[in-house]
């Protein structure tokens, strides 16, 4: 390994290489757990990434790329012999095209910085998620991140116009398209979006911006029946003139814990079956507020909702979102497992009934769960506790959650990816032919298997 370290050091400035104890120490984080790599390279340019990968490729040394390390599926855990490639020094916002509404960034740029830079110019980068202060654009691209506004603007795939990627052997593929339309052959960026660092290292990207939306209306509402959740979504979609930007549902099992925040009174009493956080983004502050209120009144009249609280200020809006984002409150269920799945809305009640019955039968005294999710995107998050941290028990819980998705055409991963965590269950959501094609692509682009080994496909 020393020989490799010597070669890597020649590509980088002294601050670009961290080895030994200091590297192991830096790998200590909640999302990495068992990461034990003792070499971290911190390039500043695509050219350096290319040189580093050439060295690792020639020596057959595996490389694990890390962005903000906020991933939820152990996608950037590195083993002792791996080289960690960190994008933390590639954070530049290179340019903004206000007319074409694009931003060109290095892959280590932090999501929140990108959002704020766009906002300064009256523009919007719509991707938004709880880890915005640490997650990077490269990580967002590599996981095809979703988040809170997918219903309006799509996932990271829809927000990425161009990409620069370095392949395992150091080849630079610069596909920095800035146009909405470009059908010149295969659109190669889609190969790398969502590939979780297994097909190439994303070094730069062209992001699609939108107009900043000055009017934001947010409400928390109570829904009594699951069918009304779907009906409310349909009428919000149709009745709010395309402005619906979030439709976040919390089952009471989640809301009753998440709404208990020190110093804050729950805006609506817990105990109802469902709570929905509805938000619109628009450009006409007065008109949007009026039509939002009219929509809520109509929903009350039609008995789609039975109670509602409307945010009247920025602080009130933040308070409503703080409940939705209060994932820490789930620690009350410890030991627990968190799942990110998707399935069509009409399948959700049957699915949840089935897995709950299985859990109750197997762990009658210790089973507890909480459910919430981006329902408008067919995405549920499940917090399941059966009272044990044992890996064998966790496996039994996973089997129940994932196997019931198979017959319903659901997905074992809605937005977090596969990483190490869901690798053994990929076949529940993908056919043999699909997995075989994934393997062919992997071996074509990374014949020595040095990029993020063991992740996604194993
Ligand atoms: C509080 C919280 C809330 C979250 N909410 C959401 C949410 O609503 N929606 C959602 O989708 N996710 C969510 N996440 C998960 C996470 O934030 C996203 O997956 C995010 O996109 C990861 O970005 P990152 O920079 O931290 O990537 P990392 O965790 O560093 O890496 C994730 C994966 O991408 C690979 N990778 C990273 N950078 C690159 C690169 N430049 N080139 C190639 N491969 C790379 C890594 O090898 C790894 O496989 C949340 C996480 C937290 C902690």
Give distance in angstroms: CA of 135 to centre of ligand 1.
6
127-162 pLDDT per residue, tens: 999 999 999 999 999 999 999 999 999 999 999 999
| Substitution candidate for ligand 1 out of 86, 87, 111, 129 with most atoms within 8 A of CB | 129
Helix (H, G, I), strand (E, B) or coil at 423: helix
- The per-residue pLDDT for 35 is 74
| Substitution candidate for ligand 1 out of 41, 70, 146 with most atoms within 8 A of CB | 70
What is the Cα–Cα distance from 24 to 20, expressed in whole angstroms? 6
Say if residue 382's pLDDT is above 90: yes
Give distance in angstroms: CA of 145 to centre of ligand 1.
7
87-105 pLDDT per residue, tens: 999 999 999 999 999 999 9
Overall average pLDDT of the 261-273 stretch:
96
Overall average pLDDT of the 420-432 stretch:
96
Ligand 1, atom 41, residue with closest C-alpha = 138
- The per-residue pLDDT for 33 is 73
225-242 pLDDT per residue, tens: 999 999 999 999 999 989
- Per cent of the chain over pLDDT 90 is 95
What is the Cα–Cα distance from 445 to 439, expressed in whole angstroms? 10
Say if residue 29's pLDDT is above 90: no
Q: Which two tokens stand for residue 343?
A: 């399935």
Please, what is the average pLDDT of the chain? 96
45-54 pLDDT per residue, tens: 999 999 999 9
Which atom of ligand 1 is nearest the CA belonging to 145? 11
Query: 123: Cβ–Cβ under 8 A, 6 or more apart, which residues?
Result: 96, 98, 101, 209, 210, 211, 212
| Substitution candidate for ligand 1 out of 86, 142, 377 with most atoms within 8 A of CB | 142
Ligand 1, atom 9, residue with closest C-alpha = 147
173-213 pLDDT per residue, tens: 999 999 999 999 999 999 999 999 999 999 999 999 999 99
Can you say how many angstroms the Cα of residue 400 is from the centroid of all Cα atoms in its chain? 23
Give distance in angstroms: CA of 270 to centre of ligand 1.
32
CB-based pocket (< 6 A), ligand 1 = 64-72, 75-76, 87, 107, 129-131, 135-136, 138-140, 142-143, 145-147, 196-197, 201-202, 415-416, 419, 452, 455
Say if residue 32's pLDDT is above 80: no
What is the Cα–Cα distance from 123 to 140, expressed in whole angstroms? 19
**Angle 226-239/285-301 helices, nearest 10 degrees?**
150
């Amino acid at each position: 390994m020393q020989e490799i370290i010597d070669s890597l050091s020649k590509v980088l400035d002294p601050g670009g290489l961290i080895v030994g104890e200091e590297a192991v120490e830096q790998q200590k984080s909640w999302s990495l757990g068992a990461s034990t790599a003792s070499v971290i390279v911190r390039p500043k340019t695509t050219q350096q990434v290319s040189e580093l990968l050439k060295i690792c490729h020639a020596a057959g040394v595996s490389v694990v790329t890390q962005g903000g390390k906020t991933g939820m599926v152990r996608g950037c855990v590195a083993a002792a012999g791996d080289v960690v490639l960190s994008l933390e020094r590639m954070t530049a916002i290179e340019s903004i095209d206000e007319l074409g509404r694009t931003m060109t960034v290095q892959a280590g740029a932090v999501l929140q910085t990108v959002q704020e830079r766009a906002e300064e110019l009256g523009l919007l980068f719509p991707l938004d998620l709880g880890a915005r202060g640490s997650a990077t654009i490269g990580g967002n691209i590599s996981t095809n991140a979703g988040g809170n506004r997918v219903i309006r603007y799509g996932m990271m795939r829809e927000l990425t116009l161009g990409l620069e990627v370095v392949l395992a052997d150091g080849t630079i593929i610069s596909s920095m398209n800035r146009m909405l339309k470009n059908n010149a052959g295969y659109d190669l960026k889609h190969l790398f979006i969502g590939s979780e660092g297994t097909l190439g290292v994303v070094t730069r990207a062209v992001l699609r911006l939108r107009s900043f939306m000055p009017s934001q209306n947010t409400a928390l509402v109570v829904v009594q029946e699951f069918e009304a959740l779907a009906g409310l979504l349909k009428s919000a979609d149709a009745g709010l003139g395309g402005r619906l930007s979030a439709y976040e549902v919390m089952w009471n099992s989640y809301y009753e814990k998440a709404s208990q925040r020190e110093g804050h009174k729950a805006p609506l009493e817990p105990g109802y079956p469902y709570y929905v956080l509805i938000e619109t983004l628009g450009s006409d502050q007065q008109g949007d507020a009026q039509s939002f209120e009219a929509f809520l009144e109509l929903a009350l009249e039609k008995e789609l909702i039975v109670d509602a609280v409307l945010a009247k200020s920025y602080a009130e809006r933040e308070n409503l979102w703080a409940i939705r984002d209060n994932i820490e409150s789930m620690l009350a269920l410890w030991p627990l497992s968190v799942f990110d799945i998707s399935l069509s809305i009409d399948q959700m009640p049957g699915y949840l009934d089935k897995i709950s019955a299985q859990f109750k039968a197997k762990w009658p005294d210790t089973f507890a769960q909480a459910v919430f999710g981006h329902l408008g995107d067919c995405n549920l998050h499940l917090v399941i506790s059966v009272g044990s941290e044992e890996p064998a028990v966790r496996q039994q819980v996973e089997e129940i959650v994932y196997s019931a998705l198979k017959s319903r055409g659901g997905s074992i991963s809605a937005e977090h990816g596969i990483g190490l965590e869901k690798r053994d269950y990929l076949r529940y959501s993908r056919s043999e032919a699909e997995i075989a094609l994934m393997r062919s692509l992997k071996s074509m682009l990374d014949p020595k298997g040095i990029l993020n080994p063991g992740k996604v496909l194993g």
